[in-house]
Structure 1
Amino acid sequence: MIRFSRSGDMPKIRQTKCVFPFLFILFMMTISTLWAKEYREDKILSHNIEIELYLNEHKLMAVDHMRVQARNEERFSCLINGAFQVLSVGSSNKKLAFKTIRKGDGYFLEITIPSDLRQADSVVLDIAYEGHLFEKPASLELEDVGGVTGIIDEAGVYLSPACLWYPDTPGSLAAFTVTVTTPEGYEAVTLGALISRRSVDGKTYTTWEEKNVSEGCDLVAGRYTVTSVNHNGIDIYAYFFPEEQGLVETYVNATKRYLDMYQKLLGDYPYKKFAIVENFFQTGYGMPSFTLLGNSVVKMPFIVDTSLGHEILHNWWGNSVFVDESQGNWCEGLTTYMADYYYKELKDNASAEEYRNDICRKYTNYVTGKNDFPLKNFIGRRDQATRAIGYGKTAMVFHMLRRMVGDEVFYQSLRSLYRGHIWKKAGWKDIRRVFEDAGKRDLSWFFEQWINQADAPFLTLGKTEVEKVKDGWVTRMEVIQKDHAYQISLPVHLELAEGNYHTIVEVKGQSEVISIQTQSEPQSLAIDPHYEVFRRLHIEEIPTTIDFVLGDNETVVVYPTSGERSLQEAYKNLAESFVTKKGLVKPDTGITEAEITQKSLFILGGPTENKLTKRLMENLPEDFSFGEGTFVVNKVRYQEKGNAVLVSSRNARDKTKGVIFFAGLSADAIAKTGFKIPHYGKYSYLAFTDGKNIDKGVFAVTDSPLRRSFRK
């Protein structure tokens, strides 16, 4: 049901296959449980919705001509928004009796079906209703923190299935026809193909139709300038505000490239159209056959190269092959692997390796024994830990599966999954089945350990030795798995006196000795040096980054008590926004020596503002410094009012802990930059001017316990 994802360095804008916030998942799970106890789950076959939007009143009036299976059933029940009024229910020009029963924020609408209508295979129920929707975003410029699900306003319209703007049942798969009436000057878009559009007497009537089933229907309207082109039989639309028309060609051309790429990899695009739709508040949502991007988001230059392709791919995974959530949500991880990761792979090997390393780092930084869970239990992202598991671990599972079966079988299997399950639900069992069929091998062990078990391997090198033998050299290494032993295809790289040797060894015990013979003398060895295996990393493999500090639930955020009053207030507000359930926020005058030496620290303010900055900044890396009214980051000096910088380092007293220094040269610079920091989690240092990132980087890791040198 729910797809949460984020691509590249994008600020925390939710990109979703559907756009329900996580709390709504819990609500719907509760409702579904109650529903199962009290009602029969009638199958909805189709919706034919006629809706008029009254923007200045934040109001809608609608009729849903809903076709349902109700043979021999005395009643039909569905959910609808609890703030709406159901005006009437009818069928075949006959009024039907109904009642509403409040459940949480919604209504159960219970309709009595007369005996003469129960004889047919299906019946059309005409449900007329009206109501107001106005969940105003907390900010039009910042991310959609509040999880707006329904708003009707002169600035624009956004209605998601989460706000129950049309009657529905949990888990339904239905076809949709939607006719939208808006004031002239507004354009409406939803899933499916454009059937008709006309403007009469100051109103615009637009009809969209999707004959194939969908898990839900989102409706958007705004003062758009519409551009449309046909690309190999697919209608591509750009619904952009007039001031962003300069971006249209870039987005349309990129859409063409992505459609061509994924049709070649997976099969024909499942819809007749794809639309890029601009929103008046900040979103990054993906729906069946269109994406909704905030007016600030569309201007970010990397969105076209990352997030757009991710959302287009969701039309294969999630929007047409649905997720059987009883087995866990596989869709977000596969889409991440075939989009975000795949683009790095197309760029170069180093970028792909960095992405795999980042997946393992985030898991190591954010996931503990207390918050870990198996992939079969992943439904949607709600924090960094669930994202590291549901998106990152799942992506790496597909990567390891691809390396094991080879590219030909991998993509053949995915094409079979798409072809065999389009417009149906699929789960991990179906994925296993298509890979076993294509590769002619038993994969039960692979899916059991990676899907049904929590945690990840933690590898160490035990005793290693090199021996000269008659026809060369033998390298012996002990590979140790802590706690739980996984069956792993483990890459081993040997640097030789003459060239290099690369191989893959199979390990599955908690302690195994591997022997490798070479003709040339080994100089060093490394296991999994390029992060091909999903695993927990050693502390020495993890650079100091924002995630390294924020992933520690016991991090102490320290705000300054000196300096200008406006800066102090800005820092304190930022500190309170970072606090976690276990984390602490303290003034620099309240920090203890034990906390300084034993905790990860997030220190806000320069040396004239925060006493810890002055005390600990001597541990900053070379080419980085904090002074009075000036900073140096990566050898570049910053001293303008709009500048803000961040630098991380190890805690000198405890190498397993980290320290972050963040400072801005004005309250405005702190406010514009501070909320973005968690979204740059993989970086070690950042520099901003007027809220725009102008430099970022990751400190190199030069040592690893999984490497050994044999040089004398």
Structure 2
Amino acid sequence: MKMTGSVMYGISFLCILAIANLSDVCAEETRENRILSHSLEIELFLKEHKLKAVDHMRVSGKNEERFSCLINKSFQVASVSIFGKKVDFQMLSGRSDGALQNSAFGHVGLMEILIPPDLRKSNEIVFDIEYEGYIFEKPASLELEDVGKTAGTISEEGVYLSPACAWYPDVTGSLAAFQVTIVTPAGYEAVTHGALVSRKVIGDKIYAAWEERNALDECYLVAGKYKVAQLKHHDIDVYAFFFPEDQGLADTYLNAAARYLDMYQNLLGRYPYKKFAVVENFFQTGYGMPSFTLLGNSVVKLPFIVDTSLGHEILHNWWGNSVYVDESQGNWCEGLTTYMADYYYKELKDSISAEEYRKDICRKYTNYVTDKNDFPLKDFRGRSDQATRAIGYGKTAMVFHMLRRMVGDEVFYTSLRRFYKEKIWEKAGWEDIRRVFEDTGKMDLSWFFEQWINRDGAPFLMLGKTEVKKDKNGWTTTMEIIQRDNVYRVSVPVQMELEGGNYHTIVELKEPSQSVCIQTQTEPRSLKIDPHYEVFRRLSLEEIPPTIDSVLGDHKKIIVYPTGGERSSQEAYKNLAEFLSANRGAVKPDIEITEAEIGQKSLFILGGLTENKLTKRLMENLPGDFSLDEGSFVINKVRYQEKGDALLVSFRNVKNRTKGFILFAALSADAIKSVGFKIPHYGKYSYLAFTDGKNVDKGIFAMTDGPLHRSLSR
């Protein structure tokens, strides 16, 4: 499964840790065994949070005495049969006998099936495994995405079954075809991977059969009270499984999906599935599985989702959901999908939007990644926080951007089309990507992949001494470009403003300090190094405006909650402080903040003038177009004074420019609750204004020229 930019790839990291040992045992005991196909018949009992199923599981293997697979250890396995004859089996990891499980993460067990001697020479065996069990892991939050990730749940609100809850027998690393027949109560529609083979209503039940003949690495199942809309786009069935109240969105999503399918088929090759479905969820998700995406009921209403996340999830059907990730080499697909979707849409819009996106990638890396939490791309598996996202999504996207600049568009897209064609339905890693690009471009790229995939870190560029001399041929500009801390081989754009025009060139850097000479016919006025952020690098303080991320990314920050004001607001601010500190940092009341901390720490200050003791003291640091009074505030000359209004503004710590302050003040407890938990999603902004939970103003403070820009005028 692939998830949107706000969540992570694959089975949740917590679940991976929980089942890692069992998976190793399963793989060790079944080296020669693998699952070829599942034919699942499953009935869902929503009120009881229960399923009953039989899996006709076809496996390969020869001369094996036993077959081991993973399954939810709370399930009751009624029988295992081969050709109608029952065979012995045992659960090796014990069983939890409770009817309802509060969490599926700890309930993955190992089942061992004994193979009769007369069948051990068979190349293939079909096991008929009959089982039943309860899965009810209520989402920690129905409104907040990425809070209390849910492995699986069966309820009248909806059904979500992921491989993490082991709802079907599996062997780690298997790539198998799936045929799934799902029985639901009337009024509930079910969807999984592949094409819809049949749908029948018999009495008060619906029987839906889905089939995917190509090999999948995992299987998800979703059901809900859906109304289904459908569009036939060439030979692809496009569906919208939406709740009745959101049917008005169906056509928008169907038509947009058709456009994205055309876009990526033209870029990469034929769409690998017979259907694509947009499925609405009753809790907040942004998941992309083979042939469908699962979007929360609040997420689908966001106006930007159709223009961003939907295309991202459709593209995952090429990267990650048909060309699978060989995780032993690191997860390349999230960054490639980010580059060819989120970034690509900015590039199609205009060059300024694309430049801002590249700068934002470098900014997030600079703000969130330190020597202590950095790691090479070969070690990226999935996102768990802002730092892992900045590396696995952002850095990877920029690596593909630098690769594209180096080899050119023709080689870049030809290589990706070859990669897709050659590795579809297989697991692939960075080495496969390198080989395809080297073969297509007829060049050695071992140094590039060694540097960017196997090393952690990023370049930090500085402009050293510069000198301009007039000679008989015109003007000679000599500049020193310094790489501080770590040395990389990078191609750096250089732009010079000349009398009467501009001059552009590319400088190849390989040394800690490199002198570069440029000859021009007319006098140079100014010099800029990497002015459009084409190189993945750490940014200098002067290149980063004060933003939400600049404080949230500081692991030593302090979230300061107020001890004054109404009790309901105090409680809301304190809850928000605990939420914001999840990204590390301390939480303290305003009365405990010391003078040393004010001068040396980044502070996230919650509360207005009569609530937080630090607010009035730091008011003088607010930018000129901002002011805060008791019961109102002004942003960009607009006054806000209603109970639903809230303000956030960031600014530098004047006593320590490397640190920042953020002030967040809302005019009621309800405004705190409706706005506060959205703050991390606006990380790149310097200021925000909200009315009744809706963002009505936002912006990024302008920066002066940084240390890679220098005036050359005499």
> Is 1:172 the counterpart of 2:163 in the alignment?
no
> Is 1:287 the counterpart of 2:289 in the alignment?
yes
Within a 5 Å distance, the mapping from 1:362-381 to structure 2 comes to 362-381=364-383
1:504 to 486, 503, 506: 506
Residue 278 of structure 1: aligned partner? 280
Q: 1:463-489 CA deviation, whole Å, 9 max, x = no partner?
A: 001111111111111011112211111
Question: Is contact 1:144-1:281 (8 Å) kept?
Answer: no
Residue 305 of structure 1: aligned partner? 307
Q: Secondary structure at the match of 2:174?
A: coil
Residue 406 of structure 1: aligned partner? 408
Residue 396 of structure 1: aligned partner? 398
Question: Is contact 2:32-2:61 (8 Å) kept?
Answer: no
Within a 5 Å distance, the mapping from 1:194-273 to structure 2 comes to 194-273=196-275
Matched residue pairs, number? Answer: 703
Superposition deviation, residue 39 in structure 1: 4.9
Q: 1:371-424 CA deviation, whole Å, 9 max, x = no partner?
A: 111000111111111110000000000000000001110000000000000000
Residue 102 of structure 2: aligned partner? none
Superposition deviation, residue 708 in structure 1: 0.7
Q: After the TM superposition, which of the residue ranges 556-565 and 358-367 deviates more from structure 2? A: 556-565
Residue 36 of structure 2: aligned partner? 45
1:670 to 669, 672, 687: 672
Question: Is contact 1:65-1:125 (8 Å) kept?
Answer: yes
Residue 514 of structure 1: aligned partner? 516
Q: Secondary structure at the match of 2:254?
A: helix
Question: Is contact 2:32-2:62 (8 Å) kept?
Answer: no
Question: Is contact 1:607-1:613 (8 Å) kept?
Answer: yes
Call closer, same or farther: CA 1:248–1:96 in 2, change over 3 Å.
Answer: same
CA distance in 2, matches of 1:472, 1:496: 12
Superposition deviation, residue 607 in structure 1: 1.2
Residue 80 of structure 1: aligned partner? 71
Q: 1:617-652 CA deviation, whole Å, 9 max, x = no partner?
A: 111112111111101122221111111110000001
Residue 187 of structure 1: aligned partner? 189
Residue 571 of structure 1: aligned partner? 573
CA distance in 1, matches of 2:686, 2:443: 43
CA distance in 2, matches of 1:226, 1:291: 14
Q: Secondary structure at the match of 1:579?
A: helix
2:592 to 590, 593, 596: 590
Question: Is contact 1:17-1:287 (8 Å) kept?
Answer: no
Superposition deviation, residue 38 in structure 1: 4.9
Q: CA RMSD in A?
A: 1.2
The letter for the 2-side match of 1:64 is: D
Superposition deviation, residue 687 in structure 1: 1.1
1:686 to 676, 685, 688: 688
Question: Is contact 2:466-2:477 (8 Å) kept?
Answer: yes
Q: Secondary structure at the match of 1:304?
A: coil
CA distance in 2, matches of 1:24, 1:509: 44
Superposition deviation, residue 155 in structure 1: 1.2
Superposition deviation, residue 568 in structure 1: 1.1
Q: Secondary structure at the match of 2:592?
A: coil
Residue 56 of structure 2: aligned partner? 65
Q: Secondary structure at the match of 1:102?
A: coil
The letter for the 2-side match of 1:630 is: S
Residue 46 of structure 2: aligned partner? 55
Q: Secondary structure at the match of 1:402?
A: helix
Superposition deviation, residue 540 in structure 1: 0.6
CA distance in 2, matches of 1:522, 1:72: 78
Q: Secondary structure at the match of 2:168?
A: coil
Superposition deviation, residue 137 in structure 1: 1.2
CA distance in 2, matches of 1:226, 1:5: 23
CA distance in 2, matches of 1:35, 1:113: 16
Question: Is contact 1:362-1:547 (8 Å) kept?
Answer: yes
Gaps of 5+ in 1: 7-11
Superposition deviation, residue 530 in structure 1: 0.7
CA distance in 1, matches of 2:706, 2:146: 40
Superposition deviation, residue 143 in structure 1: 2.3
Call closer, same or farther: CA 1:437–1:704 in 2, change over 3 Å.
Answer: same
CA distance in 2, matches of 1:204, 1:656: 61
CA distance in 2, matches of 1:324, 1:582: 31
Question: Is contact 2:181-2:210 (8 Å) kept?
Answer: yes
Superposition deviation, residue 178 in structure 1: 0.0
Residue 614 of structure 1: aligned partner? 616
CA distance in 1, matches of 2:19, 2:701: 44
Question: Is contact 1:432-1:447 (8 Å) kept?
Answer: yes
Q: Secondary structure at the match of 2:713?
A: coil
CA distance in 1, matches of 2:450, 2:612: 51
| Shift >4 Å, 4+ stretches | 36-39
Question: Is contact 1:323-1:331 (8 Å) kept?
Answer: yes
CA distance in 2, matches of 1:295, 1:575: 27
Gaps of 5+ in 2: 95-105
Residue 340 of structure 1: aligned partner? 342
Superposition deviation, residue 34 in structure 1: 3.5
Question: Is contact 1:28-1:170 (8 Å) kept?
Answer: no
The letter for the 2-side match of 1:419 is: K
Give identity over the alignment, percent.
Answer: 70
Superposition deviation, residue 580 in structure 1: 4.7
CA distance in 2, matches of 1:152, 1:511: 61
Superposition deviation, residue 272 in structure 1: 0.3
Question: Is contact 1:4-1:381 (8 Å) kept?
Answer: no
Q: Secondary structure at the match of 2:646?
A: strand
The letter for the 2-side match of 1:646 is: L
CA distance in 1, matches of 2:709, 2:160: 53
CA distance in 2, matches of 1:557, 1:184: 50
Provide TM-score, normalisation by structure 1.
0.97
1:553 to 546, 552, 555: 555
Question: Is contact 2:70-2:171 (8 Å) kept?
Answer: yes
Residue 528 of structure 1: aligned partner? 530
Superposition deviation, residue 557 in structure 1: 0.9
Question: Is contact 2:19-2:108 (8 Å) kept?
Answer: no
Provide TM-score, normalisation by structure 2.
0.97
Superposition deviation, residue 17 in structure 1: 5.4
Call closer, same or farther: CA 1:609–1:533 in 2, change over 3 Å.
Answer: same
Residue 298 of structure 2: aligned partner? 296
Superposition deviation, residue 156 in structure 1: 1.0
Q: After the TM superposition, which of the residue ranges 510-519 and 580-589 deviates more from structure 2? A: 580-589
> Is 1:316 the counterpart of 2:318 in the alignment?
yes
